[in-house]
Amino acid sequence: MTLPNERSAPAARIRRPRRATGVALVLGAGVLLSLSGIVLRHMESAGGWQIIFYRSLAFAVAVFLWLAFSYRTRVVHAFTRVGRAGLIVALSLGLGSACYVFALLLTTVANALFIISAAPFMAAVLGWMVLRERVRPVTWATMAVALAGIAIMVFDGVRGGRLLGNLVALGTPVSFAIMLVALRRAGDRDMIPAICLAGVVGAVLGFAMSDTLVISRHDLVLCLFLGVVQYGGGFVLLTLGARHLPAAEVALLSLVETVLAPIWVWIGVDEIPTLFTLAGGVIVLLAVVVQTVAGMRRRW
């Protein structure tokens, strides 16, 4: 990376505000996304499928209104352009979102978030298998380290009766990896309509699996907050911030979600992670940081 000199100073002055904006947006996204666990812990009686229905419906409506504002009379055309790749994005993200909610309900927030943070490695493996993308030796090495950390947390889940939650949590990074591969295949097409459809998928799942959609007003407000502010707002900020930063730096800054989410439930509901969870989580986070920094150094 070159240092600014007299010739590059004007360019540096232009880029620096954009980078600062990108960092602020991605960090803001991480803060919003980190609130899911503490909000779910304050639900009164709503079940997982009810939460998924209202959260996904609120998210789909919010994204659709954004698309309607952006595309105006061509909004229907935007949906028809997503193609098969868009349908894969919608299905994978919709299913992954359902896994995410149930993971937070069935295991500790720390366990779920640390396991989900391994998503970049699963995306690398799937990209290698499907798209024949080259996986660097450092990625294979950090992936092995991350798997060791996940194994520690799964073992702890077996001891603590949270095995199902840990296994469900693994469904989220797998779904995320499928979504990323589909996005790469989509090329330059706008996939925001597909993200909106993911909300529809989640809402249909929640509707089909729920015995009743009647929930308290308190839980309904929390579900709407999760869909519009926590999930929708977080996604919008992350998308806007990613325009100003390299993908590797976005991935690194996004780890603020994984760090903050366990802290909120620790402070708010006294949910203290076990020693095994913390040890496995630190191993996974270190692996992700090493992988991300290696990608950034390669760009420099």
Residue 248 confidence (pLDDT): 62
Kindly state the percentage of the chain with pLDDT values over 90.
Answer: 34
Contact 169, 99 (CB under 8 A): yes
Residue 1 confidence (pLDDT): 35
Residue 19 confidence (pLDDT): 74
Residue 247 confidence (pLDDT): 64
Which ranges of the chain have pLDDT less than 50? 1-14
Q: Hey, is 25 helix, strand or coil?
A: helix
Closest to 96 (Cα-Cα) out of 196, 154, 173: 173
What is the C-alpha to C-alpha distance for residues 149 and 196, in angstroms, rounded to an integer? 33
Residue type, 73: T
Query: pTM here?
Result: 0.82
Residues 57-108: pLDDT tens digits? 999 999 999 899 989 889 999 999 988 888 998 999 999 999 999 999 998 8
What is the C-alpha to C-alpha distance for residues 228 and 225, in angstroms, rounded to an integer? 5
Torsion angle of alpha carbons 140, 141, 146, 152, nearest 10°? 120
Residue 224 confidence (pLDDT): 96
Contact 250, 119 (CB under 8 A): no
Closest to 92 (Cα-Cα) out of 121, 110, 66, 119: 119
* φ, ψ of residue 273 in degrees (nearest 5): -65, 150
* φ, ψ of residue 179 in degrees (nearest 5): -60, -45
Fill in the DSSP letter of residue 161.
T
From residue 32, how far is each of 173, 264, 281 by CA, in Å? 19, 12, 21
Residue 8 confidence (pLDDT): 40
Residue 79 confidence (pLDDT): 93
For residues 162-197, one letter each, b for 16 or more C-beta atoms within 10 angstroms of the residue's C-beta and e for the rest, the string is: bbebbbbbbbbbbbbbbbbbbbeebeebbbbbbbbb
What is the C-alpha to C-alpha distance for residues 285 and 280, in angstroms, rounded to an integer? 9
